[in-house]
Amino acid sequence: GENVEQHPSTLSVQEGDSAVIKCTYSDSASNYFPWYKQELGKRPQLIIDIRSNVGEKKDQRIAVTLNKTAKHFSLHITETQPEDSAVYFCAASDGYNKLIFGAGTRLAVHP
Amino acid sequence: GAGVSQSPSNKVTEKGKDVELRCDPISGHTALYWYRQSLGQGLEFLIYFQGNSAPDKSGLPSDRFSAERTGGSVSTLTIQRTQQEDSAVYLCASSSRSGFYEQYFGPGTRLTVT
């Protein structure tokens, strides 16, 4: 079955800097890669996703890149703000079976 | 529209008692997941229902845990003979189909076993 590894487990940046979180997956059949953000005490929410027919997707300050050959994908947050502080989860699915989540990255953005 | 709802929001129980946690998914969503999240930890997959298929129970930690989904809608997670290590937030999520679609999470049930 699918296995998703996520790094780093914690990330601390200064406001305005960029943050990058990386994930690798094991199942070459996976073709859907979402990212979820969980603020303290809140439920996880989808922030961006990418499907295997594209290599990059951007939405304002966040972007996701996918390398299917290497089986890894990354979340990039530019011009970080304190409200970006949260736990971020990557995930992967082959579209038919359940979504598999990474262990999460705790991002702290310091003013 | 209405999102995923869970009840109760908080549950305190004594060790050894049974508990039932309820999840009402978004209407029409065929996929339903249960996760467990201990304080500061990740999303531990418990069980996955997809339509009329047999549920994927591969994440249930012991035979004290069981779940059912009636009529393809409401789901109940039951924990028998609760232990202190069962204390966590139990999250339910639904999606319109399988793993290819956004999961909408409920607010969770915080379970405390004393």
Distance CA B69, CA A7 (A): 35
Q: Look at residue B99 in the predicted model and tell me its pLDDT.
A: 63
Tokens of A86: 């949260």
How many other CB atoms are found less than 10 A from the CB of residue A100?
Answer: 21
Residue A45 burial (C-beta neighbours within 10 Å; 0-12, 13-18, 19+): middle
Tokens of B73: 């809608």
Residue of B nearest to A93 (CA): B99
Instruction: State how far residue A65 is from chain B, nearest Cα, in angstroms.
Output: 18
Q: Look at residue A53 in the predicted model and tell me its pLDDT.
A: 81
In chain A, which residues have their Cβ closer than 8 Å to the Cβ of B47?
none
Q: Look at residue A99 in the predicted model and tell me its pLDDT.
A: 86
| Model confidence at A26: pLDDT above 90 | yes
- pLDDT, tens only, A41-99: 999 999 999 998 889 999 999 999 999 999 999 999 999 999 999 999 999 988 777 88
Exposure of A77 in the CB half-sphere (CA atoms within 13 A): 26
From the list B41, B48, B107, which residue is nearest A43 (CB)?
B107
How many other CB atoms are found less than 10 A from the CB of residue A67?
Answer: 11
Distance CA A98, CA B48 (A): 7
Name residues of chain B where pLDDT drops below 50.
Answer: none
Q: Look at residue A1 in the predicted model and tell me its pLDDT.
A: 80
Q: How far is CA B99 from CA A2, A51, A70, A86, B83, in A?
A: 12, 12, 22, 24, 31
